[in-house]
Amino acid sequence: MADPDDALVQYGRVVLSDDLLELQRLDTLSDQLAHRRAHLPERDAAGSAATALRAAEQRRHQLTQRDQELVAAIAGLEGESAELVTHRQRLEAQLKTVISPRAAEALLNEIETLTTRRDGLDDRELEFMEEQGTVSDEVQELERSRPDVQAAADETAAALAAVEAAVDAEAAATAEARVDVAGRLDTGTVTDYERRRQHFGGVGVARLEGKRCGGCHLDLSAHELDQVRVTPAGSWTDCPECGRMLVP
């Protein structure tokens, strides 16, 4: 008849190895959830929509600034043009009073110069006014499209938040389950496992799959397999190929 104490020890070992594998499963799941959260397609969609919204707002700000510059430039040209008109009117009045042909010719030349300058100012003002119209059209188009751009940004942000919340809830449940499983293992075993897990890129314990380690996926030799298979049920040994905890 089997010793009851031996049965309890054997049961404890089974729980120990199973818990160790479960701890690895939960940690792997936690890593996968973190990777998934960082690479959600909803994040890309929300980022693109937010970028489009920022670009539209930035462009609208630039156009508003340019319109203000054009308004100031046009006002400056109009003021300068008005001064030229006043000056020319004074010269024209003076021309009516001169007798000397040479003085009259000088006045006429100056009047012509003023007229040419004023024509140049009128041409520049016309260019600015045409640009002002183009700016106004683009601003109106941005205003028309703004509700749709804002709605896209809001919708994609809400979709991202919903998916993140679902992933976070699963991650929290996984973390809670891990605490429970780790609590059933002794501190030394958990510390050893976590050290190996960190060293081996996330996988510290694996199961023997046929003649292959489930961690490094390398085949064990016949001699190595014999050594692993004599490991007591429910316990583990070191993988002779990679050094992970190996559960037969």
Predicted confidence band at 8 (pLDDT cuts at 50, 70, 90)?
very low
- Sign, CA torsion 17/193/224/9: negative
Q: State the Cα–Cα distance between residues 204 and 27, nearest whole angstrom.
A: 10
- At 50-100, the pLDDT tens digits run 999 999 999 999 999 999 999 999 999 999 999 999 999 999 999 889 889
Picking from 132, 20, 32, 147, the residue whose alpha carbon sits closest to that of residue 77 is 132
pLDDT averaged over every residue in the chain:
92
For the segment 126-139, the average pLDDT, to the nearest whole number, is 96
Residue 201 to residues 162, 204, 242, 246: CA-CA distances in angstroms? 30, 8, 12, 16
Residues 6+ apart with CB under 8 A from 50: 153, 156, 157
Distance (Å, whole) CA 112 – CA 110: 5
Is the dihedral angle over the CA atoms 181, 187, 189, 191 positive or is it negative?
Answer: positive
In this predicted structure, what is the pLDDT of residue 7? 34
Evaluate whether 56 touches 93 at the Cβ level (below 8 Å): no
- Which pTM value belongs to this model? 0.73
**Direct distance between the N- and C-terminal alpha carbons of the chain, in angstroms, rounded to an integer:** 27
Q: With H, G, I as helix, E, B as strand and everything else as coil, classify residue 221.
A: coil
Closest CA to 226 of 247, 209, 206, 211: 211
Whether the per-residue pLDDT at 9 is higher than 80: the answer is no
* Sign (positive or negative) of CA dihedral 60, 62, 66, 68: positive
Determine contact, residues 150/56, Cβ cutoff 8 Å.
Answer: no
